[in-house]
Amino acid sequence: MSDVAPIGPPAAKEGATQADADSGLLIPDTSLGENIDGDDEVQDTKAAKGRAGRKSSSFANLTPRQEVYLGAICRQIAQNRFLPTPTQDEVFVGDGDYLAIGAEFLGHFVRLGGLKPTESVIDIGSGIGRMAVPLTQYLVPGKTRYLGIDPVADGVKWCQKTITPVYRDFRFQTVDLANELYNPEGKVAGDSWKLPAKDEEFDFATMVSVATHLPPAEVERYCSEIFRVLRPGGRLFMTAFIVRNAEELAAPKCDPRLSGLVREKDKPCWHLRGENPMAAVGFDEGYLESVLAKAGFALLRKGFGAWHGDKSPHYQDILIAQKPRRSSK
């Protein structure tokens, strides 16, 4: 899509102060999507576009002006058909409204994860650029960088061809990770790989709908590597399916697509009966928290998603963890 014209962040609304901008958190969540996450969305794209302005609890403590600004950016992204969008044939992961879902997650990154526009981002499982495209409208050119990692070469090539020529701070790299679902012929084992990044190179890491397709040993490796490449104070934003108990899977309010999850014997994970084991992976409650703690993270937030059948602005469960800051002593 070489003819796509990018846009920059909208001008601040009248009355916004330099202090709002300098605080770094330039915009708030709008929960633009309805129960949507990565490639496991329960999507309602009309709702995804129409729920701008709805607030959820915030780690970032945005000011009212910042809330308005974030809402404006997210709405513009969701509605802007000049932004690069893959064709249906090119989308190998995820469904629903490409831009609206990405805009929703930008809101989550800022509000729940405290992402600032001058922070660098590493996106594990960048896919077809669903998270990257909205971030081009938020991260400040020349003051930050973005690295997208994915095992699917076609998705990486699309991003390299469509996004990088216009947004030079955005880079994408293929890693030939073996995965039963997405890259069964991969040469690199997921439980021993190393992220192609230096120690303490990034401020913010995303794993959107990635742990939902990984076995426990690989989740542990991913978290350990992300801890390594994050700077002190850096945050990890991860989505997952956290199974609180077997009874909730049988409850009528639970998403019926996940009611067939069965616990793997002697392991803290759940798989869909009769499906590829990596099609949807759930984890015992407490397991991911322990993995993050073992890697060195402090858990900042755990929020259960709408797949459980409870009201939530996001579909999958969300975990946000922080690498401790260095002591000033």
- Structural domain for 314, as ranges: 18-322
Per-residue model confidence as pLDDT tens digits over 199-222: 999 999 999 999 999 999 999 999
CA distances to 4, 62, 100, 129, 213 from 175, in Å: 27, 36, 27, 15, 16
Q: Residue 10 falls within a domain, yes or no?
A: no
CA angle 119, 322, 324 (to 5 degrees): 100
CA-based end-to-end distance of the chain: 52
**274 belongs to a structural domain:** yes
The answer to whether residue 6 sits within a structural domain is: no
Question: DSSP assignment of 223-255, as one string?
Answer: HHHHHHHEEEEEEEEEEEEEE--HHHHHSTTS-
Average pLDDT of the chain to the nearest whole number: 84
Q: Which of 208, 56, 82 is nearest to 136 (CA)?
A: 82
Helix, strand, or coil here: 22? Answer: helix
Does residue 5 belong to any structural domain of this protein?
A: no
Q: What is the pLDDT of residue 27?
A: 41
pLDDT digits (tens, 9 = 90+) for 113-166: 999 999 999 999 999 999 999 999 999 999 999 999 999 999 999 999 999 999
Domain assignment of residue 12, yes or no: no
Give the pLDDT of residue 271: 96
Between 325 and 45, where is the model more confident?
A: 325
CA dihedral (295, 297, 302, 307) positive or negative = negative
Domains held by the chain: number: 1
Residue indicated by tokens 């992204």: 77
Instruction: With respect to residue 8, please indicate whether it lies within any of the assigned structural domains.
Output: no
Q: What is the sign, positive or negative, of the torsion defined by CA atoms of 174, 177, 179, 184?
A: positive
Specify if 290 maps to a domain: yes
Kindly report whether the global pTM for this prediction surpasses the value 0.95.
no
For position 297, which CATH number holds?
3.40.50.150
Does residue 242 sit in helix, strand or coil? Answer: strand
